[in-house]
Amino acid sequence: MMISVDNRSPDDGSDQSRPKRRTAAAVFIDVVGYSRLMGGDEEGTHRRWMSMRTDVIEPRVASSGGEVIKSTGDGLLLEFKSPLDAISFALGTQLHLEKSSSDGGNPLQIRMSANVGDIIAEHDDIYGDGINIAARLQEFAGPGGIVISGAIHDQVKDHLRYQAAELGFLTLKNIERRIRAFKIAHHELRPPTISVAHALKPSVAVLPLQMLGLEAADAYLAQGVVHDIVASLAGIRDLFVVSSTSTLGFTDPTIDAASVCHHLGVRYLVTGTLTRSGELLRMRVQLIDVDTKSMLWTNQYDSSISQLFDVQEKIATNIAYALLPHIHISELKHAERKIPQSMNAYDLVLQGMYRLYRLGHDDMQVARTLFERALDHDPHYAAAYALMAKWYILHIGEGHTTDFKADSHEALRLASRALEFEPSDPMALAIFGHINSFLFAAYDRAIDAFDRAIGGTPNSAIAWSLSASTYCYIGDGPRAVARASYGISLSPLDPYAYFYQSALTNAHYTNETFDEAVHWGTKVMAGAPQFVANLRLLAASLVAAGSLERAREVGAAHMRIDPSFSVEKYCSWYPIKQPARLALLAERLIEAGLPR
């Protein structure tokens, strides 16, 4: 069910046809399995649905002070003046239908979802983010179920009697932020149950440390501290940890903690300061439970720069104990990360990562030099080998290679070398897996590496996102979409989000949900216009979606960046498993104006 959004603000004029904004509660109702039922008994299914609407739903809407805004064929969009009215209606309807079924009736099964927020009212319809959230929550309800947003739950929980099971923060289609949600049931019915996939984990984000007395050139030190604390926490299976790159924008010390948690979809925040005096570092860190507005833990660490890694390990352990008092010592040990023996190598890798993701030709060359220098300082540094291997992935994928075979084997050698020193490192495993599928079409070996990465570090955004590409190559669209979506949920506000979002472009293209592929491809193009790997998939998706003129504009943009590109050369190595799918991609690229 797609709901349009119009974010234009009405003028103050008297034109009654202009859209109006207001706060309201929205409820969506959807018949479960409607298409299947219509296929088996079209007239009977339609008659039963019309009867339920006329005899049950619409009278209850009216008695609750609501209004039927529109029908979607197999569902209804309802508006209520207050959250209490909306949830009272939903619970009462749920109880009535459950009793009817128990009494021997055979009503259709419906699912419901609700949210409260600002809406835009125009003519006989309502739009807006609040409506979209209500619509997207419906997929989590299940037959006979009701799912509501945390926003509406907070307004009614002290006034209505019902049973609730928290679903945590959900990633919803086309909604930028993660949404807290609850599955509810009437107090006379069985308590709602949630699947294992929705089982709650404490969710945490580590914000950038405030720098006191540090030069701007030393900013990477504070970022590196946060990055490694997150890396340690990410290895703990009982935590949902937001990636460190997603929190880099929250540097304002006056920012409201609740607002940060709302945007990142977490309950706990780690904040702190880093002060440098010569070679001495002082780090003060605190753990905040935003729901209860309480500080769970705070501590201060003094060390020289050379002892920085030891301090980070202590912080990660203390945070884990504050969040999960009963966590096993073995899990904590599993979360610990090995460190390079040289601080210089660490500095160089941090700076190389920054350059790598900028994609410019000069930045790529500088990144390679920085990684090589890091390996000169520490020949056993696994992260430097892994990132150097990733450099080759981008070098080839962006069309810069002059020797595909040699560069592919060098990428594999570097990734293998990383695993010699860190066999369970999730980034090294993910990059090794992607090289095997992307450059060698060794899909089974790739999937095995991704499974090892995710099994050891369930919150590794790079492992989830890169694994989606392998499922694209073998033609498993649904699994590719699921994996790419989860990767984005683990890194919702990454400044280099194009890397994760481009996986969704590819996944939706493979899944033949071309409008979604165009959505994500366009978003990536806006943020990283030089990323030609995305431009190719966007152009093909536009052709498949019937937008030929726009596809050719994207194709022209691609050729301005990579003028030596040819479809035949590209498709001679691009690892789509099925020849017919590869041939179709080639046809679409040519139709988008890329040279044969």
Please tell me the least confidently modeled range out of 173-187, 273-287, 318-332, 444-458: 318-332
Residues 224-253 have a mean pLDDT of 74
Residues 190-209 have a mean pLDDT of 68
Residues 511-538 have a mean pLDDT of 93
Please tell me the least confidently modeled range out of 84-93, 130-139, 331-340, 455-464: 331-340
Task: Indicate the average pLDDT of the chain.
Answer: 83
> Distance (Å, rounded) from C-alpha 371 to C-alpha 361?
16
| Beta-bridge partner residues of 121 | 20, 126
Which residue has better confidence, 345 or 154?
154
Greatest CA separation found in the chain?
Answer: 81
**Predicted local distance difference test score (pLDDT) of residue 198:** 44
pLDDT digits (tens, 9 = 90+) for 254-272: 777 777 877 777 778 888 8
Specify the CATH number of the domain 20-198.
3.30.70.1230
Q: Which fold has domain 203-335?
A: Rossmann fold (3.40.50)
**Percentage above 70 pLDDT, the chain:** 83
Which residue has better confidence, 563 or 175?
563
Residue 437 has pLDDT above 80, yes or no: yes
**Predicted local distance difference test score (pLDDT) of residue 6:** 42
Confidence of residue 12 (pLDDT cuts 50, 70, 90): very low
**Predicted local distance difference test score (pLDDT) of residue 162:** 92
Residues 498-523 have a mean pLDDT of 92
* Residue 45: CB atoms within 10 Å: 20
pLDDT digits (tens, 9 = 90+) for 133-146: 999 998 888 888 99
> Distance (Å, rounded) from C-alpha 277 to C-alpha 273?
13
Confidence of residue 424 (pLDDT cuts 50, 70, 90): confident
Where residue 346 falls (left for φ over 0; alpha for ψ -120 to 50; beta otherwise) is alpha
Residues 101-118 have a mean pLDDT of 82
Residue 88 has pLDDT above 90, yes or no: yes
Residues 472-491 have a mean pLDDT of 89
> Distance (Å, rounded) from C-alpha 276 to C-alpha 271?
17
**Predicted local distance difference test score (pLDDT) of residue 452:** 94
Tokens of 42: 């079209």
**Predicted local distance difference test score (pLDDT) of residue 550:** 95
**Predicted local distance difference test score (pLDDT) of residue 216:** 67
Residue 90 has pLDDT above 70, yes or no: yes
- Identity of the amino acid at 288: I
Residue 289 has pLDDT above 60, yes or no: yes
- Identity of the amino acid at 6: D
**Predicted local distance difference test score (pLDDT) of residue 346:** 66
**Predicted local distance difference test score (pLDDT) of residue 319:** 64
CA atoms in the 13 A half-sphere facing the CB of 19: 17
CATH architecture of 343-591: Alpha Horseshoe (1.25)
Exposed/middle/buried for residue 403 (C-beta within 10 Å: 0-12, 13-18, 19+): exposed
Residues 307-319 have a mean pLDDT of 66
Please tell me the least confidently modeled range out of 216-230, 351-365, 438-452, 518-532: 216-230
**Predicted local distance difference test score (pLDDT) of residue 313:** 66
> Distance (Å, rounded) from C-alpha 167 to C-alpha 178?
12
Confidence of residue 2 (pLDDT cuts 50, 70, 90): very low
> Distance (Å, rounded) from C-alpha 584 to C-alpha 564?
21
Confidence of residue 330 (pLDDT cuts 50, 70, 90): very low
Confidence of residue 1 (pLDDT cuts 50, 70, 90): very low
Confidence of residue 331 (pLDDT cuts 50, 70, 90): very low
**Predicted local distance difference test score (pLDDT) of residue 378:** 81
Which residue has better confidence, 572 or 246?
572
**Predicted local distance difference test score (pLDDT) of residue 148:** 95
**Predicted local distance difference test score (pLDDT) of residue 241:** 82
Please tell me the least confidently modeled range out of 13-17, 371-375, 560-564: 13-17
**Predicted local distance difference test score (pLDDT) of residue 438:** 96
Which residue has better confidence, 26 or 495?
26
pLDDT digits (tens, 9 = 90+) for 337-396: 434 444 466 667 777 877 887 787 888 999 899 899 888 888 888 889 999 999 999 999
**Predicted local distance difference test score (pLDDT) of residue 309:** 65
**Predicted local distance difference test score (pLDDT) of residue 352:** 82
Q: Which of 541, 406, 546, 400 is nearest to 477 (CA)?
A: 541
Residues 5-21 have a mean pLDDT of 53
Which residue has better confidence, 109 or 294?
109
Which residue has better confidence, 490 or 74?
74
Confidence of residue 103 (pLDDT cuts 50, 70, 90): low
**Predicted local distance difference test score (pLDDT) of residue 347:** 65
Confidence of residue 193 (pLDDT cuts 50, 70, 90): low
Residues 10 and 98: beta-carbon distance below 8 Å: no
Q: Which of the residue ranges 258-262, 323-327, 572-576 has the most confident prediction, judged by mean pLDDT?
A: 572-576
Q: Which of 470, 497, 503 is nearest to 485 (CA)?
A: 503
> Distance (Å, rounded) from C-alpha 590 to C-alpha 584?
10
Which residue has better confidence, 275 or 3?
275
> Distance (Å, rounded) from C-alpha 124 to C-alpha 70?
8
Domain segments of the chain as ranges = 20-198, 203-335, 343-591
Tokens of 370: 């920085």
